[in-house]
Amino acid sequence: MTHVLLFHHALGLTPGLLGFADTLRADGHEVTTPDLFDGRTFATVEEGVAFASEAGFGALTERGVRAADDLPDDLVYAGVSLGVMPAQQLAQTRAGARGALLLEAAVPTSEFGAWPVGLPVQVHGMDADPYFAEEDLPAARALVEEAGSAGELFLYPGGGHLFLDPSSPAYDATAAELATERIRGFLRALS
């Protein structure tokens, strides 16, 4: 089984995200869920982004990177939306990564250097999500192309952001179920 380092989104470490981590644990994976917001959660993406902006996106990303310091090298790095920044940085810069799950966001690989040769990655997002489709989809497509046969991009119909989290107002049960099954398969293949 794998060890997943899972970073939360702008709503914080919500019950829905913790439930997703428990789903992966039920498959036998170890899942670490650092709280980059020190217990704070938010009702809307806008409130969470405002908090993150005030705290400093760079500082929060660095805090996420440091969360890996005492963990083994052979991790799967996973992030949801805002949490993609530390997950993608670690996947691209920390030796020994087993894979990456970039959920509802992606950044250009040039932010952290080239995508590591052969490193498996899945990117999941909704095709009409204004945060993902308008801002991150080009980066996701380029990343998957750079990853070659190790990369997969999954688009789901709909415009909700944070569709995977049942505690989010944009939760989409059908898309979340399909994405979760694909993620579970990805992790099984790495075991």
Q: What is the pLDDT of residues 3-16, one digit of tens each?
A: 999 999 999 999 99
Give tens-digit pLDDT for 10-62: 999 999 999 999 999 999 999 999 999 999 999 999 999 999 999 999 999 99
Report which secondary-structure segment, H or E, holds 155.
strand 151-156
Proportion of the chain in helix, strand, coil states, percent, rounded to 5: 45, 15, 40
Looking at every residue in the chain, the average pLDDT score rounds to 96
- Pick from 67, 23, 76: nearest CA to 191: 76
Domain ranges of the chain: 3-190
Alpha helices in 67-172 (DSSP H): 84-93, 137-147
Give tens-digit pLDDT for 67-93: 999 999 999 999 999 999 999 999 999
Q: How far is CA 26 from CA 31, 74, 84, 104, 127, in A?
A: 10, 20, 23, 23, 29
pTM above 0.75, yes or no: yes
Report which secondary-structure segment, H or E, holds 103.
strand 99-103
3-190: which CATH number, 3.40.50.1820, 3.40.470.10, 3.10.330.20, 3.30.950.10?
3.40.50.1820
